[in-house]
Amino acid sequence: MKTRAESGADRLITWLLTLVRIVIGWHFLYEGIAKLMSPDWSSAPYLAGSRWIFAPLFNAMAESPAMVGFIDQMNIWGMILVGLGLITGLLTRWASLGGVVMLLFYFVAYPPVPGYMFGVPVEGSYLWVNRNLIELFALSVFIFISPSLQYGLDRLIRRWREEKARVPVGETVSGRETGMGRREVLRDLISIPALGAFAYALYRKKKWDSFEERLLAIDGMDANSGATLLKFNYSTLKDLKGEVPKGFIQYRDKNGSPADFELSRLLMGGNLIGGWAHARDLIYVSKLVKTYHTDEKVLQTLALGEKCGMNAIISNPQMGRVFQKYRHEFKGKIKFISDCGTNLDFQAGIRMSLAADWDALYCQGEITDRFTNPEWDDPKKRTVEERMELIKKGIDEIRANGKPAGIGAHRIEAIKACVDYGIKPDFWVKTCHNYNYWSAQTNQEWNDNKFDFDPEETVRYMGTLPEPWIAFKVLAAGAIRPEDGLNYAFKNGADFVCLGMYDFQIVEDVNIALEALENSKVRERPWMA
């Protein structure tokens, strides 16, 4: 006979097991219902972003619309049924087994294994063990333990059947006669208040979401500038409208043989992920951008950009550490183009970039602007000719290492100075944007709001150069709409466009670029790449 203490301990264990089961079931049920209520949800981006040893299988699934549709339904209804089974304690073993199988797939698709933790947002820092694995092991326990050790419908049905078997044929079965007891029955029916609480919580959340939508729809309220809770609609890979076209920059490899450097017409810019926000008077933005772009977020952004067809990113040598991690640990294929911008020291930037094996190098625009400007007060008191010679020697050094060599600039006068000096790079990197935004309408020549100081002359002069042209700052650091900036750059002669993007902007920007390229088939400057 059990003592009162032993009975109390057993009951506590039963309650704890029941609560663990209900909590996991709650999570499954909500995940399933949330996906069911979101008509745009698809498993395709999740499958396409998978890495690790099973990546080929998941990536192949993502390529088949029929398979994606099947997997979507299995996810939605599998989660709902598993959640209902766990909350009610009905068919607990089968529900737990189904949950284990689903969690196993989630785990191997995105394992918390060093070198593979990217592709989807995570809640914390993981080392082999994550939420999926913890829930998997917890559900494994429920596969093997007896229903009598937890409250639920399985326990109620089992006790009812056992008591019924003990009652002689012809007699009725009641709770009082069988010993099932009202309290025990109520405990086994704990699913009723649990499901009620779930339904109420779901109702409240839906009501709040609807309130947000109504708030954003108020007449006269600009959701992009008003003091509202902005609700983003993220585009996914299934929304892509096509593949980004490619072009080729001609250069010479280490052997001096002609070679082609293939680039997508739309390139990723590195300023945002590096924290260079050009936020004008908003002094907090650079810190905010740096906080957002953790190493993991940068890796996610690169992976999504690559999935969307962009094959290169332009950035500063300081980002080499993260880029090398993406290349070597995650086997990414994105090409890295260095601006060699290191404290206005072109040669130092070249050395850093070559050591990190960047794929192409160019002289940063700010360096070119200052070195070619006769009015610049050079701290080292070098003549303009001495500075021009440094640019020329830098280009020669890049070429000697078998890399494409370019020159960047904000001022068209800097480009002209290099041409006049006889420097002939493999490609140019030049700002290109109009002044159709309010902060450009001031009388000030420059206030971190203009990056192309003579748009008309830029278009005219760049049109005379035979080398490929990568246009940057086409949105004036966020002041111009992508539709306007991309159309302007491609129509006015740019062969490639470098565009800084957050991860949630990538798909939309690629689609806009595809449309802009379609609109720019007829233009004055021929395609030079």
Same structural domain, 344 and 481: yes
Average pLDDT, the chain: 85
Determine the pLDDT at residue 403: 97
Same structural domain, 432 and 312: yes
- Does residue 146 belong to any structural domain of this protein? yes
Round to whole Å and give the CA distance between 313 and 268: 4
pLDDT, tens digit, for every residue of 334-361? Answer: 999 999 998 899 999 999 999 989 999 9
Residue closest to 317 by CA, chosen among 285, 288, 287, 348: 348
Residue where a domain terminates, one of 110, 134, 151: 151
Helices and strands in the chain, H and E counts:
21, 10
Same structural domain, 251 and 390: yes
Same structural domain, 118 and 259: no
Determine the pLDDT at residue 496: 98
Please report which confidence band the pLDDT of residue 309 belongs to, taking 50, 70 and 90 as the band edges.
Answer: very high
pLDDT, tens digit, for every residue of 70-81? Answer: 999 999 999 999
pLDDT, tens digit, for every residue of 219-243? Answer: 443 433 333 333 334 466 778 899 8
Round to whole Å and give the CA distance between 470 and 486: 12
Higher pLDDT, 26 or 274: 26
- Does residue 296 belong to any structural domain of this protein? yes
Whether residue 394 contacts residue 347, with contact meaning beta carbons closer than 8 Å, is answered with yes
Same structural domain, 270 and 138: no
- Does residue 487 belong to any structural domain of this protein? yes
- Does residue 199 belong to any structural domain of this protein? no
Interval 15-24 mean pLDDT: 91
Higher pLDDT, 191 or 526: 526
Quick check: 64 pLDDT over 60? yes
Interval 23-50 mean pLDDT: 84
Round to whole Å and give the CA distance between 478 and 310: 20
pTM > 0.75: yes or no: no
* Residue 418 belongs to domain with CATH number: 3.20.20.100
Same structural domain, 252 and 127: no
Same structural domain, 342 and 457: yes
- Does residue 201 belong to any structural domain of this protein? no
Q: What range does the domain containing 126 cover? A: 4-151
Quick check: 101 pLDDT over 90? yes
Please report which confidence band the pLDDT of residue 267 belongs to, taking 50, 70 and 90 as the band edges.
Answer: very high
Determine the pLDDT at residue 164: 74
Interval 507-523 mean pLDDT: 95
pLDDT, tens digit, for every residue of 122-148? Answer: 555 667 888 888 999 999 999 999 888
DSSP for 128-197?
SB-HHHHHHHHHHHHHHS-GGGS-SHHHHHHHHHHHHHHSPTT----HHHHT--HHHHHHHTTHHHHHHH
Q: Which amino acid is at 29?
A: L
Determine the pLDDT at residue 195: 81
Please report which confidence band the pLDDT of residue 2 belongs to, taking 50, 70 and 90 as the band edges.
Answer: low
Same structural domain, 147 and 241: no
- Does residue 185 belong to any structural domain of this protein? no
Same structural domain, 120 and 13: yes
Determine the pLDDT at residue 385: 96
Interval 36-49 mean pLDDT: 78
- Backbone φ and ψ for 465, nearest 5 degrees, come out as -90, 140
Residue where a domain terminates, one of 87, 121, 151: 151
- Does residue 409 belong to any structural domain of this protein? yes
Determine the pLDDT at residue 509: 95
Determine the pLDDT at residue 465: 97
Total number of domains in the chain: 2
- Does residue 225 belong to any structural domain of this protein? no
Quick check: 51 pLDDT over 90? no
Give the contacts of 20 (CB within 8 A, at least 6 positions apart): 138
Quick check: 175 pLDDT over 80? no
Higher pLDDT, 467 or 113: 467
Residue percentage of the chain with pLDDT more than 90: 50
Residue where a domain terminates, one of 136, 151, 166: 151
